[in-house]
Amino acid sequence: LCWRWTFRLLGLSGFALFPFMFAILYKRTPRHQQQTNTPGESPSINEPPAEFAASITRDRVEDGNQMTIKATLRELIRCYPYIIITLAASVRFIGGYALGAWCATFYREHYGETPRSYGMKLFIVFMAGGLPGSILGGLIADRTVRYGSHWKAYIIAITQAIAAPLAVAIFFMPTANLSYIMLTVSFLFSESWMGVAASIVQDVHKPAVRCQASAVYIAIGTLVGCAGPVLVSAIISSQDKCDKNYKLAMLYIVPTTYMASALLFFATGLVRHCQRQRTATLEGGAEDRTDAPRSTSQPTRIQRRAARTNKDRQRLLSDSDDSDD
């Protein structure tokens, strides 16, 4: 089998797992929960009468539970933390894609590693550095969020700033094994950003926009990130044919994008913090230290509308019963 079969087998495994994932995620409504009304029977108390269907739909649209594509795009563009974090993730994807695409070539050309050797070692590095880094990043962000949701972005900025000099050290180690060790340590910090950044995208938007915001965020980030391997290739091609310096080409891209993304993630947290302070000032109250909903004895606008709708529904049902009598 040639090396291309590695990708083919991975693709086939995805098709094989699809029926199991569909069976797990697909949820049918149980038969005993399906409510049907016989002719002449009063509607269920859980279902609004037809007179209120249009009004309830309008209320849901106004409350943000349903939004058109145009309204969603307007919401995304007006959200400054979302724009900055999308830019930060795109820059970070450039460095990650460049390192992932050219890492094996660097070890082969610079240290003389064979495919069998660097293939197994890189697998160990990704598992020992990338996986714990992602988990630890989420745990640390969850612990510091009690000081404010903007600390999620600050945590990413700190980890990427630490990963930048470690990424430089990867290319200057005297032996391949020391370089692998430094790559593992670098991954502990550099790979901690993805899950935390995705949670920030969810935090800055209302529920009606979150799925679309995540889709746009991932699409832009991955498309821009594809420029990473191309930039490394362009730098290598611009060098002398007799002196292909892979180390220099990757040094230009990987640590630079790590540090640039750290600055952008810090800017995201700063803008988020300023917005929360301005909102607290306008409301005339002290800002909560977390993003949890504030407990209040006064009913919200949505709760008052729901109460009025329930009263009108009960009134119609009672009038219907009186007319039947």
Residues 148 and 289: beta-carbon distance below 8 Å: yes
- Distance separating the N- and C-terminal Cα atoms of the chain: 82
Residues 161 and 213: beta-carbon distance below 8 Å: no
Count of Cβ atoms closer than 10 Å to residue 261 Cβ: 30
Q: Is the pTM of this model over 0.75?
A: no
Q: Specify the pLDDT at position 319.
A: 60
Which residue, among 259, 168, 213, has the nearest Cα to 78 in the 3D structure?
Answer: 213
Q: Specify the pLDDT at position 248.
A: 87
Q: Specify the pLDDT at position 287.
A: 44
Q: Specify the pLDDT at position 51.
A: 45
Q: What is the mean pLDDT of each run of 10 residues along the chain (325 residues)?
A: 74 81 68 49 45 44 61 88 95 94 90 88 91 90 87 94 94 92 94 91 88 92 94 86 76 94 95 86 58 50 66 66 56
Q: Specify the pLDDT at position 55.
A: 44
Q: Specify the pLDDT at position 253.
A: 93
Count of Cβ atoms closer than 10 Å to residue 324 Cβ: 8
Q: In sequence order, what DSSP letters do the residues of 7-64 get, joined into one string?
A: HHHHHHHHHHHHHHHHHHH--PPPGGG-----TTPPPPTTS--GGGHHHHHHHHHHHT
Distance between CA atoms of residues 75 and 280, nearest Å: 21
